[in-house]
Amino acid sequence: MATIRKRAWTDAKGIKHEAWRVRYLDQHGKRVSRQFNLRRDAEAFRIKAEGQVAAGVHTPDSGSITVAKAADLWIEKAELKKRDRGTIKGYCELRDRHIVPLIGKEKLSRLTTPDVVRFRDALLQTRSPAMARKAVRALSMILNVAMEAGKVAQNVAASVKVEISGRDRKKVLIPPKQHLRAMIEAADRLAETDPRLGILVRVAMFAGLRSSELRGLTWLDVDLADQTITIAQRADRWNEIGAPKSDAGRRTVPIGPGLTAELRKWKLRCPPSPTALVFPNARKKPMTQHSIIDLFLRVQVEAALALDSGKMDGKGAPVWKARYGLHSLRHAAASAWIKQGIDLKRLQVWIGHATIQLTIDTYGHLITDAQADAALAGGAETALLA
């Protein structure tokens, strides 16, 4: 049982003070205490502490660390697990820009769910809903790591969510068919200056590969006989070759006869490289992220799809900006598979999503069947009147 005792004293200046001290045994049998200026605060803490000790989830201040220190432990663990360098960079940005400035000084032992709710609300006032969601999720991950290290007994952020409404959710931009055809035709016209362009656009458009996966693709993972492309590695933003970021990234995607034929022709012309890259640069290494973005912009300029940025370069020529990111071709592949009746599980695997919920959130609005929907509605009418 915890006890509350009044403490009174006189300081060196002769000023009298009083406080209320709560003493109790934690779940490990260690005697701890905490002092409050008001009895009601001491009483509230006593009730809370007794409940937490009984449940085995209490952490006294003496054994606690700050959120900022816990965030450091989180990143250290990610480095020990050899997480992708881009992932760790993202973790550091979340810690330094969003978590530490707003809640970093709080001790884990004093952190409550209402504190996390206030943190979430502060984020929503100054950040986008998507960034607020990332920061709250990161805080929950930080507390999980702290629990594993014995620095806190419970994750008070686990139940706090950031709901993103439909209007705030980033829309999937899928180029219409005439734009897709225009890009392929433009890439083929530009093949005289860069023969990679035609096949690069086609693989992105028909197989749904990410930019990093295109840059890391090797001929060892292209099976022209079985008509498949296997994603076994990727090139990160620093152009280092490594495994996909998640297990879901490792996958085999079927390709059609048209793309297979184009790949077969490109294999005969592809410049050799030490690692048998499908899209090597002039130095026989993976293309950089910047270079592949520039190439795709060139295709859109040639196809008359690029947008005028309103700026001029040093020579007085307009500076163009892309209407579509390379990811739009990935969305085009997914939408084409959906129109052919692919089921959600196969779509998740082919597109390389970690969860089926992500697939539903991204492409669920495209999965419609007007004929089947009409039959379902008609059957419902009949059932109601039968």
The string of pLDDT tens digits covering residues 79-130 is: 999 888 889 999 999 999 999 999 999 999 889 899 999 999 999 999 999 9
- The confidence score (pLDDT) of residue 2 equals 84
Domain ranges of the chain: 3-58, 67-148, 177-332
Asked if 233 and 216 count as a contact pair (C-beta separation under 8 A), the reply is yes
| CA Rg value for the chain | 29
Q: What's the confidence (pLDDT) of residue 386?
A: 64
Distance CA 376, CA 381 (A): 9
> Under CATH, which number does the domain 67-148 receive?
1.10.150
Cβ atoms 8, 21 nearer than 8 A:
no
DSSP3 helix / strand / coil % (the chain, rounded to 5): 55, 15, 35
- 280-327 pLDDT, tens digit per residue, is 999 999 999 999 999 999 999 999 999 998 898 888 888 999 999 999
DSSP 8-state class, residue 149: T
pLDDT bucket at 269, cuts 50 / 70 / 90: very high
In which region does residue 378 sit, left (phi positive, over 0), alpha (psi from -120 to 50) or beta (all else)? alpha
> Interior CA angle at 163 toward 161 and 167, to 5°?
165
Distance CA 258, CA 265 (A): 11
**CATH class belonging to 177-332:** mainly alpha
Q: What percent of the chain has pLDDT over 70?
A: 95
Q: Cα 297–298–303 angle (5° rounding)?
A: 95
Nearest to 196 by CA among 299, 109, 107, 100: 299
Return mean pLDDT, the chain: 90
Q: pLDDT band for position 9 (50/70/90)?
A: confident
Residue 251's alpha-carbon distances to 113, 207, 209, 212, in angstroms, are: 39, 11, 11, 14
Q: How far apart are CA 122 and CA 353, in angstroms?
A: 31
Whether the CB-CB separation of 122 and 114 falls below 8 Å is answered with no
Query: How far apart (Å, rounded) are the C-alpha atoms in residues 225 and 376?
Result: 41
Beta bridge partners of 31: 25
Alpha carbons 83 and 87: distance in angstroms, whole number: 7
Q: Average of pLDDT values for 319-343?
A: 93
Helix 344-351 and helix 356-363: axis angle, to 10°?
Answer: 100
Confidence of residue 168 (pLDDT cuts 50, 70, 90): low
